[in-house]
Chains A and B, each alone.
Chain A
Amino acid sequence: MITVTLPAHLRTLARVEGDVRVEVPGTVTRRAVLDALETAYPMLRGTIRDHGTLKRRAFVRFFGCGEDLSHEPDDAPLPPAIADGREPFMVVGAIAGG
């Protein structure tokens, strides 16, 4: 099981408290994690990545194991600690404002 940390607004939308856990078949990539997340919580479709293009929304970032994973390829394997559930895959809303 992969642990995913969502920003507060998306936790509210998905009606969850705290981290969520999703089963990811096969190689654990960013695309696979997001596919599994959106299958389990379909109300999140379009909020993290665009419909159609599946591109990351501009003000959303992905972090894990102390690294910014936002610019890694969609199909690159995520760090082993995320893949075995020891560390969360973090979806982060960019800090913006005055």
Chain B
Amino acid sequence: MSGVRVLVGTRKGAFVLTADGTRKKWNVSGPHFAGWEIYHVKGSPVNPDRIYASQTSGWFGQLLQRSDDGGKSWEPVGNEFAYDGETGTHQWYDGTPHPWEFKRVWHVEPSLTEPDTVYAGIEDAALFRSKDGGKSWQELSGLRKHGSGSHWQPGAGGMCLHTIIQDPSNPQRMYIAISAAGTFRTDDGGTTWKPVNHGLRSEFMPDPTAEVGHCVHRIALHPSRPNVLFMQKHWDVMRSDDAGDSWHEVSGNLPTDFGFPIDVHAHEPETIYVVPIKSDSEHFPPEGKLRVYRSRSGGNEWEALTKGLPQQDCYVNVLRDAMAVDSLDTCGIYFGTTGGQVYASADGGDSWNSIVRDLPPVLSVEVQTLQ
């Protein structure tokens, strides 16, 4: 019997939501790590029972937890993220140099092929890799030492490396995204990196089309077409058909092109989802209506998905890591809100139900499809 396991990180703990393939009746387990901020929880595609959780606290710092039994029990693994060599400075909000300092792990990305390899995206922005199941971490410092590093500047949420995407067809290629530096690609397994932001335009920058400095919120790809990338930028929904070498806008008829998450249907590589948010100064849905927008044409033409979602007086946000899809025959879509709801659609977004309604603010949502 197939099923799904939804891994939810919140401001006050992690929750594991499980259901069979019908996705109608849910079991809620948690809070795990009660009282701690859980930025991200993600399972290994190679061994779905192996799950990593980033556990963090302003008081007690960073922990990495690992489960090897599908989230039933957890063990702390390595939590030392030491930058490689001289850290130097990046730009502070006011443009002055500021020393690089580790703050937290935003995102964990288990390897597509190696059960003991996992990547971590951290604030201040850097990429780390563990080859021993999270026990020890080494920086892939070619990224931070890219010539532009001293010019990177934090976004409002901090200078975080929040997105890590492995190319399933090419183990040497990987993409990462940093707020507010932009998107970078490696073609040699993480040794060297280049910015891939051509075509992005950010009016808040002195040079709106500069090579780095763009506030990329999230990127996504479909495994069957790894050269096609979709991006929710601070403003603008973007698309690249050449592995990030160039981007063009596909915001089309969206009511606002500000937002955080973006994701791709599991079986339809041209079907994508975003959650429009009113603006960067008003982090809630336009008109108090929570609407997921779906494009079946890879962008530009969007339809509002509203059935089952609150259409009045809704002023929550949906954060960048808080949307995911399952790969059951009828693709399931999931997202969590800062109001503590986790919504699920078992029919590709046509209709929605809340799995849970009153969790702490949701920071991340991931889904595992279990056979």
Question: Which of A's residues lie within 8 Å of B, judged by CB?
Answer: 7, 9-10, 12-13, 43, 45-48, 50-52, 57, 59-60, 93-94, 96
Pairwise interchain contact B79-A46, C-beta atoms closer than 8 A: yes
Pairwise interchain contact A9-B79, C-beta atoms closer than 8 A: no
Pairwise interchain contact B35-A47, C-beta atoms closer than 8 A: no
B58: interface (CB < 8 Å):
yes
Pairwise interchain contact B82-A47, C-beta atoms closer than 8 A: no
Pairwise interchain contact A47-B61, C-beta atoms closer than 8 A: yes
In the complex, which of the residues B60, B62, B63 contacts A93, with contact meaning CB atoms closer than 8 Å? B60
Pairwise interchain contact B59-A45, C-beta atoms closer than 8 A: no
Pairwise interchain contact A50-B59, C-beta atoms closer than 8 A: no
Question: Which of B's residues lie within 8 Å of A, judged by CB?
Answer: 34-36, 57-63, 76, 79-80, 82
A65 to chain B minimum Cβ distance, whole angstroms, is: 23
Pairwise interchain contact B59-A57, C-beta atoms closer than 8 A: yes
**Residues from chain B with Cβ under 8 Å of A12 in the complex:** 34
B60 to chain A minimum Cβ distance, whole angstroms, is: 4
Pairwise interchain contact B60-A10, C-beta atoms closer than 8 A: yes
Pairwise interchain contact A9-B76, C-beta atoms closer than 8 A: no
**Residues from chain B with Cβ under 8 Å of A10 in the complex:** 60
In the complex, which of the residues B36, B60, B76, B82 contacts A60, with contact meaning CB atoms closer than 8 Å? B60
Question: In terms of DSSP, what is the predominant structure of the interface of chain B?
Answer: loop
A55 to chain B minimum Cβ distance, whole angstroms, is: 11
Pairwise interchain contact B59-A13, C-beta atoms closer than 8 A: no
Pairwise interchain contact A51-B60, C-beta atoms closer than 8 A: no
Pairwise interchain contact A57-B36, C-beta atoms closer than 8 A: no
A93 to B58, CA, bound (A): 10
Pairwise interchain contact A43-B82, C-beta atoms closer than 8 A: no
Pairwise interchain contact A46-B62, C-beta atoms closer than 8 A: yes
Pairwise interchain contact A59-B58, C-beta atoms closer than 8 A: yes
A59 to B61, CA, bound (A): 10
9 smallest CB-CB distances across A and B, nearest first, come from A47-B60, A43-B76, A51-B80, A59-B59, A93-B59, A46-B79, A46-B61, A47-B61, A57-B61
A10 to B57, CA, bound (A): 11
B33 to chain A minimum Cβ distance, whole angstroms, is: 8
In the complex, which of the residues A9, A46, A48, A50 contacts B35, with contact meaning CB atoms closer than 8 Å? A9
A-B contact pairs, 25 of them (CB 8 A): A7-B59, A9-B35, A9-B36, A9-B57, A9-B59, A10-B60, A13-B60, A13-B63, A43-B63, A43-B76, A45-B80, A47-B60, A48-B60, A51-B79, A51-B80, A51-B82, A52-B80, A52-B82, A57-B61, A59-B58, A59-B59, A60-B60, A93-B59, A93-B60, A94-B59
A44 to chain B minimum Cβ distance, whole angstroms, is: 9
**Residues from chain A with Cβ under 8 Å of B79 in the complex:** 45-46, 51
Pairwise interchain contact A46-B36, C-beta atoms closer than 8 A: no
**Residues from chain A with Cβ under 8 Å of B58 in the complex:** 59, 96
Pairwise interchain contact B80-A9, C-beta atoms closer than 8 A: no
A59 to B34, CA, bound (A): 19
A48 to B58, CA, bound (A): 11
